[in-house]
């Protein structure tokens, strides 16, 4: 069992990962500035993990990854038994593609500068084990499927560019200095929620992503889903993505950390997806079947910057970590709907 720092641990993927790690016996420090999340998520994580409300196994620090003082506080926070932080999972960052085009400097500041300050703080504290959240959008618009990790990268917007820049920075760091054990994980499209419906995705304002938009239409908060294009070069003309259950993704982080601590070297870059792409229409139909709700929809033009298809080859993650996404589309729909139905206003409800 280890004492770990999770940056961005109150967010969508971070909160589910925090729960998996607590249930695995680890103790955690979460550093989050709550710019896109709520402390309530962590209160519920503690409840699901069966912790007392003042348990020292989950310490929460409201702070910013761009503040060396906040990073020192987080990395200096010892476990209940006095252990020091042995590894970091770095989720904190900005993730909206459209916003990154409007505000590129903000994305470079939070995603790249924030990551640089984090690894510098890790050097100060003698902690050199790190798992970094990267993204499948670094591949741009590939022509061969499923996408393997050897496929060329072609990041087309500031969000993907900042994520790839951090991957490169981490690669240079481990080349320049021995002792670093780094995992760079390229996620495809995480969706769904913990099956309890107590934690889930909590988008502020109008969701950009398909899944939260569908669940908000199902609950009557939005009148209809706009399907962005039916003229893509795909079998039904709608865009294809590789959706994976957020609990599968959370479990992959536990395995990646175990691997780094056991092997004491870096992981190869890993794709985390199911290997099976689904079209927008397939997702909508599966959601209707799984939940019994009807999703009114209209076809509109393509969304600027979209690509036809993203579908990741999960073979390297399977052979390296022994990880495979095990939950199917029906579970993603059901669990996402349970969360939305129980929390129509997210954590603010």
Distance in angstroms (rounded) separating the CA atoms of residues 325 and 244: 7
DSSP bridge partners of 240 = 279, 309
Q: Among 107, 139, 159, 187, which one carries the catalytic annotation?
A: 159
Q: How many residues bind ligand NAD (CB under 6 A)?
A: 27
Closer to ligand NAD by CB, 13 or 225: give it.
Answer: 13
Closer to ligand NAD by CB, 33 or 338: give it.
Answer: 33
Of 15, 34, 349, which is closest to residue 192 (Cα–Cα)?
A: 15
The pair phi, psi for residue 291, each rounded to 5°, is -115, -15
User: Contact between 12 and ligand NAD (CB under 6 A)?
Assistant: yes
Distance in angstroms (rounded) separating the CA atoms of residues 248 and 324: 8
Closer to ligand NAD by CB, 192 or 229: give it.
Answer: 192
| Minimum gap (Å) between residue 311 Cβ and ligand NAD | 14
159 part of the active site: yes
Q: Choose from ligand NAD, ligand UDP, none: what does 36 bind? Cβ within 5-8 Å by kind.
A: ligand NAD
User: Contact between 212 and ligand NAD (CB under 6 A)?
Assistant: no
User: Contact between 8 and ligand NAD (CB under 6 A)?
Assistant: yes
Distance in angstroms (rounded) separating the CA atoms of residues 246 and 14: 10
User: Contact between 35 and ligand NAD (CB under 6 A)?
Assistant: yes
Q: Choose from ligand UDP, ligand NAD, none: what does 12 bind? Cβ within 5-8 Å by kind.
A: ligand NAD
For ligand UDP, the binding residues (CB under 6 A) are 189, 208-210, 213, 225-228, 239, 241, 280, 303, 306, 310
Residue nearest to ligand NAD (CB): 11
Q: Is 135 exposed, middle or buried (0-12, 13-18, 19+ CB in 10 A)?
A: buried
User: Contact between 65 and ligand NAD (CB under 6 A)?
Assistant: yes
Of 171, 32, 252, which is closest to residue 45 (Cα–Cα)?
A: 32
| Minimum gap (Å) between residue 193 Cβ and ligand NAD | 12
Closer to ligand UDP by CB, 163 or 241: give it.
Answer: 241
Distance in angstroms (rounded) separating the CA atoms of residues 175 and 281: 45
**H-only helix segments in the chain:** 12-23, 39-48, 68-75, 97-102, 104-107, 114-125, 158-176, 210-218, 246-263, 280-291, 315-321, 329-342
Among 6-14, 44-52, 174-182, 261-269, the segment contacting ligand NAD (CB under 6 A): 6-14
Closer to ligand NAD by CB, 133 or 161: give it.
Answer: 133
Three-class SS state of 328? coil
**H-only helix segments in 177-314:** 210-218, 246-263, 280-291
**Per-residue CA distances from 41 to 46, 242, 335, 348 (Å):** 9, 26, 16, 10
Q: Are 28 and 88 in contact (CB under 8 A)?
A: no
Three-class SS state of 5? strand
Which residues ranging from 169 to 208 are in contact with ligand NAD (CB under 6 A)? 187, 189-190
Among 7-15, 51-59, 232-240, 328-336, the segment contacting ligand NAD (CB under 6 A): 7-15
End-to-end alpha carbon distance in the chain:
35
| Minimum gap (Å) between residue 303 Cβ and ligand NAD | 15
Closer to ligand UDP by CB, 20 or 227: give it.
Answer: 227
Which residues ranging from 78 to 117 are in contact with ligand NAD (CB under 6 A)? 91-93, 95, 110, 114
Contact residues toward ligand NAD (CB under 6 A) are 7-8, 10-14, 32-37, 64-66, 91-93, 95, 110, 114, 133, 135, 187, 189-190
* Active-site annotation, residues: 159
């Amino acid at each position: 069992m280890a004492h770990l720092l999770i940056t961005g641990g109150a967010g969508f993927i971070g909160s589910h990962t925090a729960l998996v790690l607590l249930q695995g016996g680890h103790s955690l420090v979460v550093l989050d500035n709550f710019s896109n999340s709520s402390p309530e998520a962590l209160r519920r994580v503690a409840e699901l993990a069966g912790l007392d409300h003042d348990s020292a196994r989950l310490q929460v620090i409201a702070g910013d990854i761009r503040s060396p003082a906040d990073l020192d506080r987080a990395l200096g926070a010892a476990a209940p038994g006095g252990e020091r932080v042995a590894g970091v999972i770095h989720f904190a960052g900005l993730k909206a593609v459209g916003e990154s085009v409007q505000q590129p400097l903000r994305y470079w500041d939070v995603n790249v500068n924030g990551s640089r300050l984090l690894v510098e703080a890790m050097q100060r504290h003698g902690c050199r084990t790190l798992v970094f959240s990267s993204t499948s959008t670094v591949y741009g618009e590939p022509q061969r499927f499923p996408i393997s990790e050897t496929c060329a990268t072609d990041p087309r917007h500031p969000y993907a560019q900042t994520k790839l820049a951090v991957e490169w920075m981490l690669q240079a760091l481990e080349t320049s200095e021995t002792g670093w054990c780094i995992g760079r994980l390229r996620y495809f499209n995480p969706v769904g929620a913990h099956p309890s419906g107590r934690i889930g995705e909590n988008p502020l304002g109008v969701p950009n992503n398909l899944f939260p938009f569908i669940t908000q239409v199902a609950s009557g908060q939005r009148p209809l889903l706009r399907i962005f294009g039916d003229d893509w070069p795909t079998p039904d003309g709608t865009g294809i993505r590789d959706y994976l259950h957020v609990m599968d993704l959370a479990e992959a982080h536990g395995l990646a950390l175990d691997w780094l601590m056991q092997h004491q070297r870096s992981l190869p870059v890993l794709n985390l997806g199911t290997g099976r792409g689904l079209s927008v229409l397939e997702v909508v139909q599966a959601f209707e079947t799984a939940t019994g709700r009807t999703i009114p929809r209209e076809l509109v033009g393509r969304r600027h910057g979209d690509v036809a298809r993203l579908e990741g080859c999960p073979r390297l993650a399977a052979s390296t970590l022994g990880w495979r996404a095990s939950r199917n589309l029906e579970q993603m729909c059901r669990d996402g709907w349970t969360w939305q139905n129980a929390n129509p206003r997210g954590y603010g409800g």
